Chains A and B, each alone.
Chain A
Amino acid sequence: MPAVSIDTFFACALMVIAVLSAMAGTSTLLHPYINSAVDKNTAERYEEISKYLLLNSGTPLNWGQNGSIKPETFGLAKMGTENPYELDIDKVSRLNSESMQAMSYAELFTSIGLPDVAFRLEIKPVFEVFINLTATFPSTDNTEYQFEILTEKNGAPVPVYLKCYVIAENYLSTTEVYVSGGKTRQNVTISNNVHGPSLLAVLARSAYDARIASSKVYAFAHKTAEPKPRGTFLRLSPLSYVLNASFAYPAVNLSSAYALTFEYNSTLTQKASDNGSATYEIPHFLDPSLMIIALTGWNSTAFFIEWVAYPQVPVQVGADFAGFTSLSNVFAYMYVVTINSAIFECTVWVGGPRD
């Protein structure tokens, strides 16, 4: 073999090896950046989808108000609103699985019309209220209960005004207090002649902005056994300012119904009733606050109190992405939304298959 052929062969081989090595090296080096560029496009698309869910009213525009309507296209914005990120109280309530008119995730997924996109929505108050019953002081005529109430955001105390409502059989009392350090003790005294169980409903609003509100309800025994879990006797669904109470037992008899906000409270009037359900009209309070609706009644000889928040928040609906993050691109977007002038925190997770 002539020397020039050997020279040519080695030269060609070396060139091929050099080119292949360069390609492999470049690919390895740029792979994460190219991936992040793809992720960026995906993230932008998903962000626009998350905004669409909160800025669009869906069709029909009033799908939230009528429980029998399933939306053709999904959107949570209030019909005809001029403010961005203002959500409809009924559309949000229909996301809660406790509602009788709740929409399933399959229905929501279909109404979005994007087969390659899964989502999850969470709407909750900006800060949390915690209630602990710390002591009970029984006496001959009354029983005194001592509660510790905490207002926190991610562990940090939140200065608030608190409105505390105590409900028992034919009994409603209110107290208001300012809490600067995010922690207070409240004493509640109830006559032993009053039937329990009882309910402590706490409505809180930020000391700096009344629209930043939260609430918590605590049921406790009073001269009775521990209260049964929520929904044992009634299933309550507020929608379009009408409360629907569905009885779990035929022997249920309703006594009183209350609507409670921070500034106002009202006894509700029954609109209609039959053997298995009753409806009440809910007043439109001009108060940027969550509303707690409580119903008292008897099941044979057992007194009960059931309650529901309106809008039905906190709420979580949608796909569960836990454990699928390695298989799919999941992005979370946080928004501040208003429902009935009260401010809530909304997180939208949007995900799809990894490219």
Chain B
Amino acid sequence: MYGLGWGSSRLKKADRGQIRIIEAFLAVLIIFSAFAVSADLTGSRSATKSESLASIGLHSLMKLDQDGRLGMYITDGDFTALREALDLILPAGICFNLTVYVTVYDEQMQRLNTDVITNGGFNSQEVAFVEYICASQSATLRCYVIHVNLGMAT
């Protein structure tokens, strides 16, 4: 570089190596900083969208569960009603697929729905995941864990 060449003309020949090392170190630092900043910015954009989707999904499940209806659908095995109610309550353009697990005492979670509970083709770039826990309304307490993947319909 001209600048360093000009500056180094005044330096002793023995110090030239040190300047080159500092120059290389600074260059590497600048390049990696640029990568780090860019990665962080792009990541935050997509994170905002999926947070918003997750918030809508969680909120919709909460509303369905407000009068215990969500647990009732699962206890009755009425996954069609669950799918239709969630599809109706979610804003237009949001697709989902849902899996329901049951936990009994300390046993491992067991999947309850054999078929996929979905409102259409799940093919989206923006995907959010929501985990929701609800209880059965029957005399025997059962804890249901609902996993929902949400995406914007394309």
Say yes or no: B56 contacts A334, CB within 8 Å: yes
Closest residue of A by beta carbon distance from B42: A33
Closest residue of A by beta carbon distance from B89: A336
CB distance from A158 to the nearest CB of B (A): 7
Contact of A336 among B2, B38, B59 (CB under 8 A): B59
In the complex, which residues of chain A have a beta carbon less than 8 angstroms from the beta carbon of B66? 83, 338
Say yes or no: A209 contacts B6, CB within 8 Å: no
Please indicate which of the listed interface residues A15, A126, A334 has the most CB atoms of chain B within 10 Å of its own CB: A334
With A7-B6, A40-B44, A336-B63 as given contacts, are A127 and B38 in contact (CB-CB < 8 Å)? no
Say yes or no: A154 contacts B6, CB within 8 Å: no
CB distance from A300 to the nearest CB of B (A): 47
| Residues 63-100 of B contacting A (Cβ, < 8 Å) | 63-64, 66-67, 69, 81, 84-85, 88-89, 91-92
A212–B63 CA distance with the chains assembled, in angstroms: 11
Say yes or no: A208 contacts B84, CB within 8 Å: yes
Say yes or no: A211 contacts B67, CB within 8 Å: yes
| Residues 129-166 of A contacting B (Cβ, < 8 Å) | 153-154, 158-159
Say yes or no: A8 contacts B6, CB within 8 Å: yes
Say yes or no: A36 contacts B84, CB within 8 Å: no
With A15-B3, A36-B41, A36-B44 as given contacts, are A85 and B88 in contact (CB-CB < 8 Å)? no
User: Is B12 part of the binding interface, using a Cβ–Cβ cutoff of 8 Å?
Assistant: no
Closest residue of A by beta carbon distance from B82: A208
In the complex, which residues of chain A have a beta carbon less than 8 angstroms from the beta carbon of B64? 209
CB distance from B30 to the nearest CB of A (A): 9
With A33-B41, A83-B66, A209-B69 as given contacts, are A158 and B2 in contact (CB-CB < 8 Å)? no
In the complex, which residues of chain B have a beta carbon less than 8 angstroms from the beta carbon of A335? 59
Contact of B41 among A34, A158, A207, A334 (CB under 8 A): A34
CB distance from B153 to the nearest CB of A (A): 11
A108–B88 CA distance with the chains assembled, in angstroms: 31
A277–B84 CA distance with the chains assembled, in angstroms: 45
Say yes or no: A33 contacts B38, CB within 8 Å: yes
Say yes or no: B85 contacts A11, CB within 8 Å: no
CB distance from A40 to the nearest CB of B (A): 6
User: Is A43 part of the binding interface, using a Cβ–Cβ cutoff of 8 Å?
Assistant: yes
In the complex, which residues of chain A have a beta carbon less than 8 angstroms from the beta carbon of B88? 126-127, 153, 158, 206, 208-209, 212
Say yes or no: A153 contacts B67, CB within 8 Å: no
CB distance from A51 to the nearest CB of B (A): 10
A153–B92 CA distance with the chains assembled, in angstroms: 8
Closest residue of A by beta carbon distance from B83: A208
In the complex, which residues of chain B have a beta carbon less than 8 angstroms from the beta carbon of A334? 56, 91
Closest residue of B by beta carbon distance from A209: B85
User: Is A84 part of the binding interface, using a Cβ–Cβ cutoff of 8 Å?
Assistant: yes
In the complex, which residues of chain B have a beta carbon less than 8 angstroms from the beta carbon of A84? 62
Closest residue of B by beta carbon distance from A10: B2
User: Is A243 part of the binding interface, using a Cβ–Cβ cutoff of 8 Å?
Assistant: no
| Residues 52-84 of A contacting B (Cβ, < 8 Å) | 83-84
Closest residue of B by beta carbon distance from A29: B38
| Interface 0/1 of A12-42, CB less than 8 Å to B | 1011000000000010001001101100100
User: Is A343 part of the binding interface, using a Cβ–Cβ cutoff of 8 Å?
Assistant: yes
Closest residue of A by beta carbon distance from B70: A209
User: Is B45 part of the binding interface, using a Cβ–Cβ cutoff of 8 Å?
Assistant: yes
Say yes or no: A154 contacts B92, CB within 8 Å: yes
Closest residue of A by beta carbon distance from B6: A11
A11–B66 CA distance with the chains assembled, in angstroms: 72
In the complex, which residues of chain A have a beta carbon less than 8 angstroms from the beta carbon of B85? 206, 208-209, 212
The 6 closest A-B pairs by CB, nearest first: A11-B2, A33-B41, A154-B92, A208-B81, A208-B84, A208-B85
CB pairs A–B below 8 angstroms (8 shown): A7-B6, A15-B2, A30-B38, A43-B48, A208-B88, A209-B64, A209-B88, A335-B59
Known pairs A33-B42, A209-B81; list 8 more (Cβ under 8 Å): A10-B2, A11-B3, A126-B88, A159-B84, A206-B84, A207-B84, A209-B88, A335-B59
